[in-house]
Amino acid sequence: MGELRDECGVAAIYHLPGRGVSPLCPPEGPEEVSRLMPRMLLDIQNRGQLSAGFTTYSPHRNQLIDTYKDIGNVNEVFRLSHRGKLESLMREYAGRAAIGHVRYATCGAEDRSYAQPFERHHLQKHKWFSFAFNGQLANYIELRDQLLADNDNYLARETDTEIIMHAISGELSGDRRPSLLDVCRNIASRFDGAYALVLLNALGDMLVARDPLGIKPLCYAIDGPLFAAASESVALLNLGFPPESIKSLLPGQAITITNGRLEIQSFAASGRRAHCFFEWIYFANVASTMDGRSVYLSRKALGEELARLEDAPIDDDTIVVPVPDTSKAAADAMAFKLGIPSLEGLIRNRYTGRTFIEGTEGRGKKAEAKYTPLREVLEGRRVLLVEDSIVRSTTMKVLIHRIRSLGGAREIHVRVACPPIIAPCFYGIDMSTVDELFAPKFLSNGDLDKEVQQEMARALKADSLRYLPVESISRAIGFDSDQLCQACITGRYPTPCGQRLYQVAMNNVGSSGKCRTYEAQQVPSGLS
């Protein structure tokens, strides 16, 4: 789609002492399992291309934990195409444990100081830690204001990552020696939002935790002495972990490694689950399985839902064309059900670079460079153009124009494997205002009937437009609707602060400008 980005992805790896050597370890041995981290981050590169980094632990060097990070994708940051420079990095940061991160910004600046992991140095080893997280705190403004109420406090960055760092530091202050589980339990009681968190300290202790609602995904696997965790299962599968060993960490659970001992425990009650449905629709790698649900099979089921609702005339000149790459599974399944070809009428240029250009004009130019219509496939055809979602519509308008003008398509019927996006996300997806969304202005009465969808089609300059209904999502993914976060398609948020921010966003309609909701207006005090 090219318009929407998740905040980031996290990964962790640890070789547990005294358990032998895993065949999955690099040839250099267990004291250099950190060498596996760039590969893990490559497999979750889809979750963030703005920056990448890792922190490693080794008791055999002065810098017990040491962090390397920079702006760029994984290949650029870790110099994967330059064997000598890569080897130099891997030797310098060699360790028996590592945490890693890939980032796309939903808040904060696009510079190196915002790249994760964040490391906090301290004289005492248990207070010297580094951490990274995927998600967003909906009550960021309240937490920030609480810290800044003390004039002696200062925040160097406008990001909830720094808030989390200070929250962890506060739990470790003074003479207290809380366990990592207690630290997690205490900070969770103050957080409203989504987080999948990995932490490593100078004692060699590790924490891997998932928020009590399970909004963001987090998987782990254990093979003998080797433990690994990542935002998506594909990163673990490609390291060589057997598929049956890969599990999703339950909401409100944490994995701690202390003194070489691994434990899995709950740190917060999980009364309900609210898995982000967009992971299966768009964000996650199609090869991943999360919370027991295959991304590929979910997208295939969405395509079958589209086929069931299709009412366009079907003849020998009708074809299905996916918008690469995330809508391909849905398009292929739709075409199979309808008995018509699914053809690659749009070719994606995979070498256009990172796609975090801001602004409508930037997105439009990026779409022109990123997708090339094939006239040999499209000319004279009735095209059922399948997209995973429409958020701002900038990319879709460009594609429709190019498919018609350069591709020579006779008709273009847009089919969206998702309901209309009507509300912002405050849990880590880069859409924070109502004004930036395509659908709300057409849905003032709340009804998505054929007339409304035809009005949307005219705005896009398509011949027709069809969305999936909300109930299709839970059927396709295989979770009951109350087990999913569907706030952006329903306006119903799983946390109190998320719901209140939505009211702020609605109050700001027409006046929010370029500011995100949590930047445009203070959240009323007392939210949590």
What's the pLDDT band for 524 if we cut at 50, 70, 90?
very low
- Average pLDDT over the chain, rounded to an integer: 92
In a domain, 286, yes or no: no
Residue 189 tokens, joined:
């009681």
Number of domains within the chain: 2
- SS3 letters for 150-208? CCCCCCCCCCHHHHHHHHHHHHCCCCCCCCHHHHHHHHHCCCCEEEEEEEEECCCCEEE
User: Given this model, what pLDDT does residue 5 score?
Assistant: 47
Q: 354 pLDDT exceeds 90?
A: no
Give the pLDDT mean for 53-72: 97
What's the pLDDT band for 358 if we cut at 50, 70, 90?
very low
Q: 417 pLDDT exceeds 80?
A: yes
Same domain, 307 and 267: no
Give the pLDDT mean for 300-328: 96
Q: 514 pLDDT exceeds 70?
A: no
Same domain, 231 and 107: yes
For the stretch 93-107, pLDDT in tens is: 999 999 999 998 655
What's the pLDDT band for 270 if we cut at 50, 70, 90?
confident
Q: 7 pLDDT exceeds 70?
A: no
Same domain, 261 and 299: no
Q: 186 pLDDT exceeds 50?
A: yes
Q: 515 pLDDT exceeds 90?
A: no
In a domain, 289, yes or no: no
Same domain, 361 and 219: no
Domain boundary among 239, 271, 303: 271
Same domain, 200 and 320: no
Residue 273 contacts residue 251 (beta carbons within 8 Å)? yes
User: Given this model, what pLDDT does residue 445 score?
Assistant: 78
Q: 522 pLDDT exceeds 60?
A: no
Residue 214 contacts residue 135 (beta carbons within 8 Å)? no
Q: 446 pLDDT exceeds 80?
A: no
Q: 81 pLDDT exceeds 50?
A: yes
User: Given this model, what pLDDT does residue 513 score?
Assistant: 54
CA–CA separation, 508 and 504 (whole Å) = 6
Q: Is 8 a catalytic residue?
A: yes
Q: Domain holding 371: CATH number?
A: 3.40.50.2020
Residue 471 tokens, joined:
């109930």
Q: 453 pLDDT exceeds 80?
A: yes
Least confidently predicted of 106-110, 194-198, 464-468: 106-110
Give me the percent of the chain exceeding a pLDDT of 90.
85
Give the pLDDT mean for 72-100: 97
Q: 441 pLDDT exceeds 80?
A: yes
Least confidently predicted of 2-16, 123-137, 181-195, 280-294: 2-16
Choose the catalytic residue: 8, 219, 418, 485: 8
Distances (CA, A) of 6 to 10, 217, 428, 469, 523: 12, 12, 6, 23, 23
In a domain, 309, yes or no: yes
Give the pLDDT mean for 481-499: 97
Domain boundary among 208, 238, 271: 271
In a domain, 277, yes or no: no
CA–CA separation, 169 and 172 (whole Å) = 5
Same domain, 124 and 167: yes
Give the pLDDT mean for 402-418: 98
In a domain, 421, yes or no: yes
Amino acid making up residue 140: Y
Same domain, 105 and 178: yes
Angle (nearest 5°) at CA 272 between 270 and 273: 95
In a domain, 528, yes or no: no
Spatial neighbors of 297 by CB under 8 A, at least 6 apart, are none
User: Given this model, what pLDDT does residue 4 score?
Assistant: 47
What's the pLDDT band for 523 if we cut at 50, 70, 90?
very low
Least confidently predicted of 54-63, 322-331, 423-432: 423-432
In a domain, 384, yes or no: yes
What's the pLDDT band for 518 if we cut at 50, 70, 90?
low
Q: Please name the residue that has the structure tokens 């997209």.
A: 387
Expressed as residue numbers, the domain containing 408 is 294-520
For the stretch 25-55, pLDDT in tens is: 999 999 999 999 999 999 999 999 999 999 9
SS3 content of the chain, % helix, strand, coil (to 5): 35, 20, 45
Same domain, 326 and 190: no
Give the pLDDT mean for 329-351: 95
Q: Pairing relation of β-strands 411-416 and 51-57?
A: unpaired
In a domain, 279, yes or no: no
Give the pLDDT mean for 175-187: 96
Higher pLDDT, 235 or 2: 235
Give the pLDDT mean for 155-165: 93
Q: Domain holding 156: CATH number?
A: 3.60.20.10
Same domain, 114 and 55: yes
What's the pLDDT band for 510 if we cut at 50, 70, 90?
confident
Domain boundary among 204, 237, 271: 271
Residue 368 CA, distance from chain mean position = 24
What's the pLDDT band for 362 if we cut at 50, 70, 90?
low
Same domain, 360 and 260: no
Same domain, 49 and 132: yes
Burial class of residue 434, CB neighbours in 10 A (0-12, 13-18, 19+): buried
Same domain, 264 and 312: no
Q: 404 pLDDT exceeds 70?
A: yes
Burial class of residue 8, CB neighbours in 10 A (0-12, 13-18, 19+): buried
What's the pLDDT band for 127 if we cut at 50, 70, 90?
very high
